[in-house]
Amino acid sequence: AQAPAVVTVTGAAGQIGYALLFRIVSGAMLGHGTPIRLRLLEVPQAVKAAEGTAMELDDCAFPLLAGIDIFDDARAAFEGANVALLVGARPRSAGMERGDLLSANGGIFKPQGEAINAGAADDVKVLVVGNPANTNAYIAAQHAPDVPRERFTAMTRLDHNRALAQLAARTGSHVDDIRHLTIWGNHSATQYPDLTHATVRGVPATSLVDPAWVQDTFIPTVARRGAAIIEARGSSSAASAANAAIDHVHTWVKGTRDGDWTSAAIVSDGSYGVPEGLVSSFPVTASGGEWSIVQGLEIDAASRARIDASVSELVEERDAVHALGLV
Ligand code: NAI
C-alpha cells in the first residue's frame, strides 16, 4: 500500500474546514489510492471544535484515513506536510482598514510560512484559501526561503468554477463543454474573468454571447458572487470554496486535461507584464506536479486594462506589506 500523504489544514474548525476535511479523506483530492494523515491547526479556543470534527471523521470509517492530529502550534502542525491548505485567516471586520487587515494576516501567515520552511516535507504544496489569499500566500512564501516559491499558490479556482457555471447557463451548454476560461489577477472584486479565449463545444464564446452581457452581467456576477452568496445564504460560501480547494490540489497533482487549462494564483515569472514575484491568477496547466503559465495568448486592449487594474491592486498590497514590515 502507498505511504500516507500528510495533509495539514488550518482553520480546521471553520465552515470551509467542515466542508473540506471529509472530501479530502474520501479520496477526492489526492485519489482513492492515497491514504491521508491529517494534521489540523486551530487557534486554542477552537481546538475543542476541531476535536468534534475529528470525531465525525472517525465516524465516517473512511478507508483512507490513516490518522488525525490536532494542534494549536504551527511548527507542530506543518511537520512533514506534503499538502498544506491554509484556510484560517483573519476576516475583515466592519470599518477595518486595509493596513489593519494585512497586519492581522501577517501575524498568521508569517509564522505559518516559517513553520512550513522549518518542517514541511521536501515536496510540500501550499494552497492559501484564507483572504486576502494572494497576499497571504506572498507573505508565507517570503518567510519560507528554502521552499521553492512555485510551491506557494492561492485559490482562484472558485472564481474559475463560478465563471464556468455562468457561461454554461447563458449558452445552454454543460460546464464540461467549455475550454480556456481564465481568471486573471487578485481573488477580489478586481479580478478579471476572461472569456476572450474561451470556447463552448469548440465555438468561440464571444460569438455566442453579446459584449454587453459580458461587461454588465458576466464579469460583475463572477467577481461579486461571494457577496451574493452571503446575501442569500446568510453566511459566506463554504462548500463551493472547499470544492474549489479540492479541485485546485487535484489538478496540481494529477494534471490538467489535454487541450484545456484552468486558473490558479501562482508566483509570477513576469509573464503578461505581471511583476515577478506577485502571486497572481493566470491561465495555467499542470503536469508532473508543476504549474505552467499558458504562454502566447493575445490580450486585447479591454482585457489589458482589466488585468492591469487587478495587478495594480496586488502591487499595492505587496507594497503595504513591505511598508508594514510584514516581510
Ligand atoms: P470561518 O471563520 O468559518 O473559519 C476560519 C477558521 O480559521 C476559524 O475556525 C478560526 O478559528 C481559524 N483560524 C483563525 N486564525 C487561525 C490561525 N492563526 N491558525 C489556525 N486557524 C486559525 O471562515 P471560513 O468560512 O471557513 O473561511 C476561511 C477563509 O477562507 C476566510 O478568510 C474566507 O475569506 C476565505 N475564503 C476564500 C475563498 C477563495 O476563493 N479564495 C472563498 C471563500 C472563503
What average pLDDT does range 182-187 have in this prediction? 98
How far, rounded to the nearest angstrom, does the alpha carbon of residue 24 sit from its chain's CA centroid?
15
CA distances from 126 to 7, 11, 78, 112, 120 (A): 10, 14, 11, 11, 10
Q: Which atom of ligand 1 is nearest to the CA of 17?
A: 26
The yes-or-no answer on residue 187 being catalytic is: yes
pLDDT digits (tens, 9 = 90+) for 301-325: 999 999 999 999 999 999 999 999 9
Q: Is the pLDDT of residue 91 over 90?
A: no
Go through the domains of the chain in sequence order and give each one's CATH number.
Answer: 5-154 (3.40.50.720), 157-316 (3.90.110.10)
Q: Is the pLDDT of residue 1 over 80?
A: no
Rounded Cα distance between 121 and 139, Å, is: 20
Mean pLDDT of the chain: 97
What average pLDDT does range 155-180 have in this prediction? 98
Determine if ligand 1 sits within 6 Å of the CB of residue 15: yes
More confident residue, 92 or 258: 258
Check residue 4 and give its pLDDT.
Answer: 97
pLDDT digits (tens, 9 = 90+) for 26-37: 999 999 999 999
Q: Which atom of ligand 1 is nearest to the CA of 131?
A: 32
C-alpha cell at 252: 496540481
User: pLDDT band at residue 93, thresholds of 50, 70 and 90?
Assistant: confident
What is the percent of the chain where pLDDT is above 90? 97
- Indicate which residue's Cα is closest to atom 30 of ligand 1: 130
- Cα four-point dihedral sign 312, 317, 322, 324: positive
Alpha helical stretches, state H, 128-192: 133-142, 157-171
Question: Which ipTM was obtained for this model?
Answer: 0.98
Determine if ligand 1 sits within 6 Å of the CB of residue 89: yes
Check residue 44 and give its pLDDT.
Answer: 98
Looking at 187, 248, 250, 322, which residue is catalytic? 187
What average pLDDT does range 80-93 have in this prediction? 95
CB 154 within 8 A of CB 280: no
Check residue 95 and give its pLDDT.
Answer: 86
Q: What is the pTM of this model?
A: 0.98
